[in-house]
Amino acid sequence: MRFVVVTGMSGGGKRTALKLLEDVGFYCVDNLPVSLLDKFVELVSMPGAEVSKVALGLDIRSDQKFGEVEDALENLRKKGYVFEILFMDCSEKVLLKRYKESRRMHPLALDGKRVEEGIRIEKEILRTIRKRADYVIDTSNLLTRELKEEIDRIFVRNEEYNSLMINVVSFGFKNGIPADADLVFDVRFLPNPFYIDELKNHTGNDKEVQDYVMGFPEAHQFMDKLTDMMLFLIPNYIKEGKYQLVIGIGCTGGKHRSVTLANALYERLKDQGNYSIKLTHRDVGL
């Protein structure tokens, strides 16, 4: 039997993850009281049980202290039960936005506490189980379809996993640098297609612009050097346990040069490792 414990930050996507696991054949139970955990695992593990894949949601909403949940999981491990832990994470900024939009209260933001305080308390409480998790998925910048791809990669295709999620983002400096960017590269040294009449209203997603930008030898030299740097950095980021890497590539407006080179970098990196990678063009539609 494959047994997955799904936990993580409130608002981090645990319910969505459970629904996606259910869609791929897992029997899912959300927020089971910790006092029933032993009995539940015993029942689904019995010879002849019809359940072969189980996902159990456990989080801070439980009436018991979360330390009791960790103790119960450790007890299961001592009894010889094998399980995996999927931790659904999310940045504080995005969690605040989600709570504001949903108008729901954070489970630890009671008795006059602010949501920000509840999130920080929860993060501290979950610190230990996050470190012990087999899989950490940060949903800060993930669409539901991208989360589905991650779930399928781990639990359906059983591909080798590490927690690093790379986001290659094109942007325009006139609209500001992405706040969450870890690395920023300025490609305004290349000629600007904006000043070519037949290219002005196209973007770096169009072949005409791509051919123009990549027609300069400096563009290829830049891509070779940038790719070499990324192939050096990424394994070291993985080694150090980094779980999110945002690579920003900027030009003036974020429509031509940055889009072209972000597309090129994505193509060069997408099949180079077992990390997840996505491509975002922040300003292409502005």
Task: Please name the CATH architecture into which domain 2-155 falls.
Answer: 3-Layer(aba) Sandwich (3.40)
How far, in Å, CA of 30 to CA of 85, rounded? 14
Contacts of 126 (CB under 8 A, 6+ apart): 7, 8, 9, 60, 66, 87
How far, in Å, CA of 5 to CA of 74, rounded? 12
Confidence band for 245, pLDDT divided at 50, 70 and 90: very high
Q: For residue range 127-177, list pLDDT tens digits in order.
A: 999 989 999 999 988 889 889 988 998 999 887 777 788 999 999 999 999
Contacts of 16 (CB under 8 A, 6+ apart): 139, 144, 147
How far, in Å, CA of 192 to CA of 253, rounded? 10
Confidence band for 265, pLDDT divided at 50, 70 and 90: very high
Comparing 163 with 1, the larger pLDDT belongs to: 1
Among candidate residues 140, 130, 266, the one with its CA nearest the CA of residue 205 = 266
How far, in Å, CA of 56 to CA of 75, rounded? 16
pLDDT at 35 over 70: yes
How far, in Å, CA of 54 to CA of 40, rounded? 11
Contacts of 190 (CB under 8 A, 6+ apart): 213, 216, 218, 219, 222, 251, 257
- What was the pLDDT predicted at 89? 94
How far, in Å, CA of 239 to CA of 42, rounded? 36
pLDDT at 64 over 60: no
Domain spans of the chain, in order of start: 2-155, 165-281
pLDDT at 61 over 90: no
Q: For residue range 66-115, list pLDDT tens digits in order.
A: 788 888 999 999 999 999 999 999 999 899 999 888 878 888 877 777 88
Q: Has this prediction a pTM greater than 0.85? A: no
